[in-house]
Amino acid sequence: MSKKPNGRLVTVIDSQQITPNMQRISFQADDLSDFPADAAGGYIKLLFTEQGDTDLSQLGADERPKMRTYTIRHLRQSLDQFDVDFVRHEHDHNGGGFAAHWSQSATVGDTISIAGPGEIKPINVDTDWYFLVADMTALPALAAQLTKLPATANSYAVIKINHGDDKQALTKPDGIEVIWVIANTAKTNLLTAVKTLTWQQGEVSVWCACEFSDMRALRTYFRNDKAIDKDNIYISSYWKSGCTEDGHKIAKRNDNEAQLSG
């Protein structure tokens, strides 16, 4: 008998459209005791066949599942449950990919295999102020980072959303100002919104995750223009416009190699 890829089977127990462009799916697992207690904000991999099916028994002996990465929004470890927020995409043959399509059609009782969780670099909390930046794909991760900041934390969280109604109530320190950037309104983008904000005095921690081209522009600003110390910055792309996750991985690898050789 061929060995199937390792994965943890989880079951959909709820699915809610929380904003016009965000779907929250709640999952039940048999046992999440091996998850880190602070796994919210980390990531899991949803596992699919090449055809976008969730039944991994269809995979051949030499086939590996296609993996799609999503953030754990909430973890209820004592109940062996967690939530994942999915950006809703238009239902066409080209938009969103099969993970997005699966998330919008998933119903209670559906099952899917996951791998993980994996951790991302946490924000350095031992600084004078904070600058967090995200688009909708990284909003769940940014929301988790906000809950880990000191109660006295201050400054900015800049978040690009698809529509004004995609704003969410966020648990955060009172001193963090949330700036919502609405896509396709005027000519505002993440970099423009970030650069218009007053640069504070003292040491800053930067946490930034968004689309690939936006990430590169913001990286130039924070690393080059503002010379942020590498220990005080996390900056990553979560997707690339026009690419599947597989294509995005190649773009990230090439970008990392260019950074190392530059």
How do residues 104-162 score in pLDDT, each as one tens digit?
Answer: 999 999 999 999 999 888 899 999 999 999 999 999 999 999 999 999 999 999 999 99
* 137 and 254 belong to one structural domain: yes
- 66 within 8 A of 46, measured Cβ to Cβ: no
Looking at the structure, do residues 153 and 192 belong to the same domain, yes or no? yes
pLDDT of residue 94 exceeding 50: no
CA angle centred on 93, ends 251 and 90, rounded to 5° = 85
Query: Do 91 and 141 fall into the same domain?
Result: no
Domain housing 40? 8-118
What is the mean predicted confidence (pLDDT) over 23-40?
Answer: 96
- Buried b / exposed e over 1-12, threshold 16 CB at 10 Å, is eeeeeebbebeb
Asked if 221 and 248 sit in the same domain, the reply is yes
Q: Is residue 233 domain-resident?
A: yes
Phi, psi of 15 (to 5 degrees): -145, 120
H or E element, residue 233 = strand 233-239
Mean per-residue pLDDT, 237-256: 83
Residue 242 counted as domain residue: yes
Structural domain total, the chain: 2
Give domain status of residue 2, yes or no.
Answer: no
Domain check: are 66 and 163 in the same one? no
pTM, rounded to two decimals: 0.91
Q: What is the DSSP string of 61-120?
A: TT---EEEEEEEEEEEGGGTEEEEEEE----SSSSSHHHHHHHHH--TT-EEEEEEEE--
| Rounded-to-integer distance, Cα 189 and Cα 167, Å | 16
Q: How many CA atoms lie within 13 A of 236 on its CB side?
A: 12
Residues 232 and 202 both lie in one domain: yes
Structure tokens at 137: 């794909």
